[in-house]
Structure formats: C-alpha cells, structure tokens
C-alpha cells in the first residue's frame, strides 16, 4: 500500500518535524489542531489544517473518532501519530487500518505486545535480549507465592504494573516487611490508572544508567540499529537531556546488545522505528521496555549516524526496502539534546503564557527543533516542552563546549524556562565526566548552583 497524503495527529515541534520530512518526500500534509492551537506553527506549515475540538487533549489530540473523521474528510491516506498522545495506542492503530488508512508505526499487535511489559519481557528473553532478573510472568495473587518470587529474586525488588507507563505504577521494596502492602497498593493503582491489575516483580537495580538503542526496520524483514543514547539525566522519570553515543561503553558491548535488539524485531515482525530501553549497571544491560514510536530524543541519533530517522520512517511505511545494512551505520562524533521546557527552573511548575521574545542560537553543529516564535502563546493544556536544542561535535568535549555556548546564546522572555538548569548542568563536573546514573540529577538538584 502506498500513500501521498499524511495526517499528522500531533502538535508542537514533532508535528513540524514530521511535516517537513513529508514535504521533502513530496507527500501532502494535513495538520489537526485544537481550539487552543489555532495560530500554532504546525497549522501554518501543513498544506491543510482541520480543527478537531476544544483545548483539552481528551477532546482533541486524543479524540480518535474526530481524528479519523478529519483523515476521511481531508483525503489523507496515512496517519503519523508523532510521540505521546495516540502514538502507542493499539486500538487507534487498528482503527486507522480498518478504515483502509496506513498507520505510520508498527502493527497494532506489536504495539499491544510491547505495551504489556510482561509480554514484552517474554518476547525479549526469547530473542536473547538481556532482561532484569525476575520471572517473565505476572505475579500470582497468593501471598505465599508472592514472597517466594521476591525471595528468589533477592531484595531490593521493584513491583511494576504490566500495563504501566510514564514512570507510574511501580514501587521499590527493600525487605519482606513491605512487600504485600506495596503489591496491594500498586495493584489498585494499576487497576485504576491502566485498567489492568497485572503486576510483575523484578530486581531493583540501585545505581543504573538509562541506555537505549534506536532501531529501524522495513516491511521486508530487514532491520538495523542506529546506535546508543544515554538518557540518564532524569527527574521523576522524565528525561531532561540526552546524548549519543552513550559514553564510556565499549563498542563491542553495544554491538552485542544492538544485534539482539534487531533479532528481537525480526522475531516479532516489527516494522518502522522503535527504541529498546535498558538499565545499565556494572557493565551489563537489562531490558526494561520498548517504545514502539518515534522518540523525543531521536535527533541525537540523527546527528551522529547521519540517518534522517523521520524520513526513513516514512519511507519504510511506504513499503520501501531499508536500502542500508548494519555496515553502513557509522557513528561519528557526539551529540547532546537539551529539552527546553516552559517551567520554573527550581520548582518545575509549568509556566504557560506569551513569549515576548525568542532568540535561538545557531552556527556550526547547532540545531533547534521548536514550534516557537516571538509572540507565540504557550497554552497550559499540553506538555511544557517548547523546543529542543541539539548540538553535535567531533567528540564529547567539543559537543559539551558547543552546548555551553549555545545555551548562553539562547534568550527567551515572557515565560520561565529551564535554560538556567541546563546551563548549570553543563558546568557540573560529574556530568562533564559522563556516565552518571539515573538518580544523579535528583541528588544534584538540592545543591546546584544556578546562574
Ligand atoms: P515506564 O513505562 O513507566 O517509563 P519503565 O519500565 O521504563 O516504566 O521504568 C521507568 C523508570 O523506572 C526507569 O527509567 C528507571 O528509572 C526505573 N526502573 C524501572 N525498573 C527498574 C529496576 N528494575 N530497577 C531500578 N529502577 C527501575
């Protein structure tokens, strides 16, 4: 099946990223927007734009019915979901294909399997992908059996919701006294938040890094991995900045895990782009989940691999063969991405409002992916990310220096941003050394020096 007109079921910088890639390929674009986004950049950049409802995400960007109607009305033949919103919704992917349209992403079945963390773990073990120690089956309901599972793993353990996401639905348990209560609370939370009470237990890793592998597969059984990213700088499980490649990990070790990821894709018949997320501790990788979509941090991989991931995603969706093999993928230099959020840099409270000025840095190796411009209104209803600052250097040291200069030259007025946080981080000795664990940022925050 082929298509020539794509509806982008998203907003913000990712909608622009997708619209531009479509245009480069000669594909027509349809934007959808909420009443809060009537003057948003994606509305202006697309060939056509349709309002899909009120500001609240549930009434617009998450409203499957209206988005499908917009696709039919505009004659779009494919839907790109971006990230967030409906991008990992198997029912939506199914509904799109039932209408005879193309969902730019994996099959609904693949989304469903990977959306169930127990099923995902089972599929990964079958493909030889290293996983966190713990059973690849849901936790039984019987108290004695729960104790047995935890004892067999060894404390500390973490109880997680099979249907969990966004860093919710999990609890760490340090010894057996807290086990049953934690399981009961998490089960209730899982039932309410995800509509699925299934839980599983695994070893809690105390000082891991977050390392991920980007993959790209066509519809003909070919796949490649495009390198590694380190996304350990997190606050409340939200990534703050990312880099590629992951520093200080031997190429051989990355290659071994990358090859397993590609093998797993082959076994589950995966198509399109995806990311395997791992915790990394004591030189070992432990799979935690797969994201079956484009990710916010895809640009750092683009910068070091030279592959336009969004264009590649569209081309494989059009049925094109990959046209590259693993030997063609070479990682050159180093890249960082800072997520620029409209929020207080100390309290992290979102800071919506009107941007009175917006002046972005530029120059060699500097890229800004953003939907902002001076005078733009940042509505309070959506994610507070207003752009991404990405830099590339010939090595990590050059990229660090380039990011410092770029951050110093980034001027935003009218709303608060986390730019001061990024500036302080890029002057921090621990971060500069590289290889910090996922708790580093939260330990650092109380004693930081922000300028
Ligand atoms: P979600 O889908 O909610 O993002 P993940 O399984 O990706 O859930 O886990 C989110 C975060 O929780 C991880 O990035 C890590 O910080 C922490 N985490 C998850 N599993 C473990 C584990 N076994 N040991 C230590 N930390 C973990």
- The span from the CA of 221 to the CA of 24, in Å, is 26
From 237, 285, 296, 436, give the residue whose CB has the most ligand 1 atoms within 8 Å, as the site to mutate: 237
- The span from the CA of 313 to the CA of 315, in Å, is 5
Based on the residue annotation, tell me whether 11 is a catalytic residue of this protein: no
- Given the CA of residue 206, which atom of ligand 1 is nearest to it? 25
Q: Is 387 left (phi over 0), alpha (psi -120 to 50) or beta?
A: left
Q: Output the six-digit token pair for 269.
A: 């018949």
Exactly one of 171, 293, 367, 402 is catalytic; which is it?
Answer: 293
Distance 319 CA to ligand 1 centre (A): 34
Look at residue 270 in the predicted model and tell me its pLDDT.
97
Look at residue 167 in the predicted model and tell me its pLDDT.
78
Residues of the chain with pLDDT under 70: 1, 449-451
Look at residue 166 in the predicted model and tell me its pLDDT.
78
Helices (H), 116-195: 117-126, 143-153, 179-194
- Given the CA of residue 208, which atom of ligand 1 is nearest to it? 25
Q: Output the six-digit token pair for 342.
A: 């409209």
- The span from the CA of 58 to the CA of 50, in Å, is 17
Look at residue 76 in the predicted model and tell me its pLDDT.
98
Look at residue 451 in the predicted model and tell me its pLDDT.
53
Query: Is the distance from CB of 286 to CB of 130 less than 8 angstroms?
Result: yes
Residue 10 — φ and ψ, nearest 5°? -165, 180
In 55-198, DSSP assigns E strands to 78-80, 102-103, 157-161, 170-173
Residue list, ligand 1 pocket, CB within 6 Å: 132, 158, 164-168, 202-205, 208, 210, 237, 277, 279, 288-289, 438
- The span from the CA of 371 to the CA of 351, in Å, is 16
- Given the CA of residue 168, which atom of ligand 1 is nearest to it? 3
- The span from the CA of 338 to the CA of 387, in Å, is 9
Distance 131 CA to ligand 1 centre (A): 12
Helices (H), 175-250: 179-194
DSSP character string of 296-350: TTHHHHHHHH---HHHHHHHHHTT------GGG----SEEEEEEEESB-TTT--B
Buried b (16+ CB within 10 A) or exposed e, 300-328: bbbbbbebebbbbbbbbbbeeebeeeeee
Coil/strand/helix, residue 444 = helix
């Amino acid at each position: 099946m082929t298509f020539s007109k794509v509806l982008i079921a998203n907003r913000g910088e990712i909608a622009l990223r997708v619209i531009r890639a479509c245009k480069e390929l000669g594909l027509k674009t349809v934007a959808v927007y909420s009443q809060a986004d009537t003057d948003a950049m994606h509305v202006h950049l697309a060939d056509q734009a349709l309002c899909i409802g009120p500001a609240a995400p549930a009434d617009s960007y998450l409203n499957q019915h209206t988005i499908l109607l917009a696709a039919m009305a505009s004659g779009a033949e494919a839907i790109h979901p971006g990230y967030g919103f409906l991008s990992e919704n198997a029912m939506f992917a199914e509904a799109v294909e039932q209408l005879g349209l193309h969902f730019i992403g994996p099959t609904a079945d693949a989304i469903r399997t990977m959306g169930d963390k127990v099923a995902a773990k089972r599929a990964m073990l079958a493909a030889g992908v290293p996983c966190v120690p713990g059973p690849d089956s849901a936790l039984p309901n019987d108290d004695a059996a729960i104790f047995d599972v935890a004892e067999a793993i060894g404390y500390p353990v973490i109880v997680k919701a099979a249907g969990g996401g966004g860093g919710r639905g999990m609890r760490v348990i340090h010894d057996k006294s807290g086990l049953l209560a934690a399981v009961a609370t998490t089960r209730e939370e899982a039932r309410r938040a995800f509509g699925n009470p299934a839980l599983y237990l695994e070893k809690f890793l105390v000082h891991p890094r977050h390392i991920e592998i980007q993959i790209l597969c066509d519809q003909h059984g070919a796949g490649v991995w495009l390198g590694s990213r380190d996304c350990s700088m997190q606050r409340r499980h939200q990534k703050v900045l990312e880099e590629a490649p992951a520093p200080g990990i031997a190429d051989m070790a990355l290659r071994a895990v990358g090859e397993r990821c590609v093998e797993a894709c082959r076994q589950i018949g995966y198509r399109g782009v995806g990311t395997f997320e791992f915790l990394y501790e004591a030189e070992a990788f432990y799979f935690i989940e797969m994201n079956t979509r484009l990710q916010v941090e895809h640009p750092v991989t683009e910068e070091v691999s030279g592959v336009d991931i969004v264009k590649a995603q569209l081309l494989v969706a059009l049925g094109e063969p990959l046209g590259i093999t693993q030997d063609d993928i070479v990682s050159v230099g180093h890249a960082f991405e800072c997520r620029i959020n409209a929020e207080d840099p100390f309290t992290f409270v979102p800071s919506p409002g009107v941007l009175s000025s917006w002046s972005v840095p530029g120059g060699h190796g500097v890229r800004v992916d953003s939907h902002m411009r001076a005078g733009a209104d940042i509505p309070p209803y959506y994610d507070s990310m207003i752009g991404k600052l990405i830099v590339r250097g010939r090595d990590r040291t050059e990229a660090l220096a380039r990011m410092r200069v770029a951050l110093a030259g980034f001027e935003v007025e009218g709303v608060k941003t986390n730019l001061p946080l990024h500036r302080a981080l890029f002057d921090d000795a621990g971060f500069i050394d590289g290889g910090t664990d996922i708790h580093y940022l939260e330990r650092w925050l109380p004693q930081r020096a922000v300028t």
